[in-house]
Amino acid sequence: MDYKKMIENGDTFLGIELGSTRIKAVLIASDFTPIASGNHDWENRLSDGVWTYDLKDVWAGIQDSFQNLAESVKMQFGVPLTTVGAMGVSAMMHGYLAFDKDDNLLVPFRTWRNTTTEQAANELTRLFDFNVPQRWSIAHLYQAILNKESHVPHIAFLTTLAGYVHWRLTGEKVLGIGDASGMFPIENAGYNPRMITQVNALTNGLAVDAILPRVLNAGEVAGKLTNDGAKLLDPTGVLKPGIPLCPPEGDAGTGMVATNSVVERTGNISAGTSVFTMIVLEKELSKVYVEVDMVTTPAGKPVAMVHCNNCTSDLDAWVKLFGETLEVFGKKPSVTELYETLYKTALSAESDCGGLLSYNYLSGEPITNLDQGRPLFVRMPDARFNLGNFMRNLLFSAIGTLKLGMDILTEKEDVQLEQLLGHGGFFKTKGVGQRLMAAALNVPVSVMESAGEGGAWGIALLAAYLNRKNETLEEFLANQVFASAKAERVTPDPNDSKGFDAFMIRYKQGLPIMKSAIESLEY
């Protein structure tokens, strides 16, 4: 295809996603093929006990990733990127970004990773008879009210990171339904009116529905890139304003789109800094579970979400340590070689990790009722402590908490799954993370060739779906995008599954060790 001509004519689509450790921009052609990308690495920080990002870093990262993409376009095709057919923004879900009437940020951004809203989350869950996790924006807001924080009376707008970036680019205070469902419970394509009435009775005159973003569905136009927005995105002035934007979405929703997991009996696993499954339901769950969040697809279908705050961060720290050890001996493998070599040792290890045990909790983990993190490794004196067992133990630890939540869906609710689609850093080393995840959850796990671009590609696809009124999102993805997609499928290995079950017995038995570590080692 003539990609150069497509770029010149604006027959392309741009997706930008702000993930936990990377901001990525992806440009796709009219055939939905990624043709250029740009990245920017960043990291959250723990400041005064709050996990946060500075908003200056948000824009520096977006501009850098877009500039890298624009340079890639110029290098590959010899033309500048002046416009696109449509674009979209995605980011980490949940959290707390509160602004006053003059658009000033009232308190530093509180991300999904914070576990300081237990009282509010518990009270709202009881009030609504609906699980409100600690990560959700309404839990952060109500906790601020309970804490009598001075900024609360001044709140004029509350949004997520994707909603904030979209607002600055377009002037529109809106949110895609999937991301909105992680702020406040959804009913019939909007915020649940019964619950709005209930929470407004507790907020001392603050009307919650008046400060939340307006909810939009996939396919609706959510504004256009303004002059100021174009300068924010591209300070060089090459990109022109006027580009239509799709509704901003959360990374969970764009992960579903990027893996074509938006119809019933499908689901996906996103495994990186955090790990979560998104399972599209055929029917409502029989009861409320605090381990399971109820959210939606970008088209509004009900989804059961099992979310764990911690996944690969502790694993990454150990890999980095091993890399530093090699450097002391004069060896410097590439990052890819380091990960692949270490991960693969886990495949020849004992199925149950030889009696080793670790917890990957850099931050709190609500599913196991822990409000802080203390990464921890422990072993019995007779455990078989070797590299393969240790790496397998780290990989199992990264998905141990997820298993606790998924068991509720598969065992208590009899949710049927034909397969799960995996994406994220946990699956990058071929044949390792995918195999162990399948064994842990006892369900086939597939990884698509196209999933490598992740949520940035997913939001670009949602931009491409704008104004396609003659087909549903499900039809668009199945018939237009994924009709010839290839995926590598791995079924659970019985020996791996047996070993993981043995590991999980130790994992559950050892949780009091984590509680003791938190109580004994204070910030």
Per-residue pLDDT of 108-128, as tens digits, reads 999 998 989 999 999 999 999
Contact assessment for residue 379 and residue 356, using Cβ atoms and an 8 Å cutoff: yes
| Angle in degrees, CA 47, 51, 57, rounded to 5 | 80
Q: Mean per-residue pLDDT for 514-522?
A: 93
For residues 307 and 139, what is the distance between their CA atoms, to the nearest angstrom? 16
pLDDT > 80? residue 6: yes
For residues 423 and 66, what is the distance between their CA atoms, to the nearest angstrom? 23
- Residue 483 binned pLDDT confidence (cut-offs 50, 70, 90): confident
pLDDT > 90? residue 428: no
* Sheet strands (E) in 272-362: 275-280, 293-296, 302-308, 356-359
Structure tokens at 53: 């990002």
Contact assessment for residue 461 and residue 485, using Cβ atoms and an 8 Å cutoff: no
Q: How far is CA 301 from CA 85, 233, 257, 407, 513, in A?
A: 27, 32, 13, 22, 40
pLDDT tens-place string over residues 339-392: 999 999 999 999 999 999 999 999 999 899 998 999 999 999 999 999 999 999
Q: Mean per-residue pLDDT for 229-251?
A: 97
Q: Give the distance between the most distant pair of CA atoms in the chain.
A: 67
pLDDT > 60? residue 452: no
Q: Output the average pLDDT for the chain.
A: 94
**Residue 510 amino acid letter:** G
pLDDT > 80? residue 261: yes
Structure tokens at 104: 């000033």
Q: What domains can you pick out in the chain, each with its CATH number? A: 1-92+220-247 (3.30.420.40), 94-159+174-212 (3.30.420.40)
pLDDT > 60? residue 95: yes
Q: Which of 35, 170, 3 is nearest to 89 (CA)?
A: 170
